[in-house]
Structures are given as C-alpha cells and as structure tokens.
Homo-oligomer: A and B are copies of this chain.
Amino acid sequence: MVRKKVKLAYIENDSCRRVTYRKRVKNLVKKTRELSVLCGVDACAIIYGQDEQAPVVWPSSEEEAKRIISDYNSKSELDPSQRGFNQYTFLNDSVIKAKERLLKLQRKNREKQIANMIGFG
C-alpha cells in the first residue's frame, strides 16, 4: 500500500508475492505479539505458507506456550467447574492442544529463523 494503491487480490507474480508474503508475515506476527503484550490477552497467529514445511505460528517459543498452558491448568485447579463443556474452556482446550503439539514439532533452528525474521525483542 504505497507507491500505488494495491487492490486486495491475489498477487499473480510469483516473485512479488513471495516478497510481500515474507514482509507481511513478519509484521503480522509482530502485531500479534504487540497486541498480546499491550493488552494482556492471549492471541495466536497461524500462517500456512505455500512451500514451507511447517506453518508460521505465534506464540512459538517454549516459554510462552508453557506460560499459557500453565495458566490454563492453574485456573482449572482453582475452579473445577471451569472444566465443564462451555464455550470458553472448549475453545481454549483446542488451542492449547494445538500449541502443545506444535511445541513438539518445532525445531530449534526453525524457531531461530522466525525469531530473526520478526526481529524478536
């Protein structure tokens, strides 16, 4: 959205599309992190790239995922009724399971790559 007002449509040119993809993923992840920190909410971003083996996921660090899982578990202990089948725990559960699985799948070098990509810190 700059030297020309780009219309919201699939970018046909492969080269342009990939450049745009990398730039935008980087900032999408950055924004997700900012929202989470600034507002103290849990947020999650998942992007399935075209050729990439694993999707880009945030939160991706072990620390972050552990914190979220830990929060969830401690809440459940405090109030067992929260384990019931309601919308909130239901959805949280799905996301947490996905996160747990992702944790196992992520490779150290992949994490470093993404961290570097978004200019982590």
Contact = CB atoms under 8 A, between A and B. Distances in A.
A48 to B, nearest CB: 4
B24 A38 contact: yes
A84 to B, nearest CB: 15
Interface residues of A, number: 45
**A interface secondary structure, majority:** helix
B50 A41 contact: yes
A28 interface: yes
Closest A-B pairs by Cβ, 5 of them: A21-B39, A44-B46, A94-B98, A42-B48, A43-B47
Interface of A: 6, 8-11, 17, 20-21, 24-25, 27-28, 31-32, 34-35, 37-50, 53-55, 87-88, 90-92, 94-95, 97-98, 101-102, 105
17 contacts: A6-B38, A8-B34, A8-B37, A10-B37, A25-B35, A28-B35, A32-B45, A43-B45, A43-B46, A43-B47, A44-B47, A45-B46, A48-B92, A53-B88, A90-B105, A91-B102, A95-B98
